[in-house]
Amino acid sequence: MAKGKDGVLLIIRIASALAFLYHGAGILFGAFGGPRAAGFATFTHTSLTVAYLVGLAQFCGGLAMLTGIFARIGALCIAIVMVGAIHLVHLKNGFDIGHGGMEYALTQLLIAIAVLFAGAGKFSLAPKKIANW
């Protein structure tokens, strides 16, 4: 049973990590046609500093989720970003993602909270000293 749970955690971590690596790389580096930090700051009406922090939280959080190294810290970063995304962008549009709603952001928030509580599981690249971070 423990192996099954750890395998499920790995799958969930990978699914979430891919999305955040993608979005974070778009903000930080303009990868995949992303807006870069300046474009993100303009779109969200925030400062360039906030844009870089969001990009770093998404990219590094995604990397932490993928590898399992500091997965709980990465999950916390992602959770904070998702609360901000829901509050600043999606909440006013309701639930339906087809109308810009919070459906996807809420799902990612709940995944991040689950990893925050559960940790990375057995399938992690983290050394034993930091395995529960």
- Cβ neighbours, 10 Å, residue 113: 15
Return the pLDDT at 46: 95
Q: In the predicted model, what is the mean pLDDT of the chain?
A: 95
Tell whether 18 is covered by a domain.
yes
Confidence grade of residue 2 (pLDDT, cut at 50, 70, 90) = low
The answer to whether position 132 is within a domain reads no
* pTM summary value: 0.92
Domain around 83: 2-124
Q: Give the total number of structural domains in the chain.
A: 1
Establish if 131 belongs to a structural domain.
no
Write b or e for each residue in 2-40: b if 16 or more Cβ atoms lie within 10 A of its Cβ, otherwise e: eeeebeebbebbeebbebbbebbbbbbeeeeebbbbeeb
Q: How confident is the model at residue 99 (pLDDT cuts 50, 70, 90)?
A: very high
Residue at 93 is within a domain: yes
Region 124-130 average pLDDT? 89
The answer as to whether 133 is a domain residue is: no
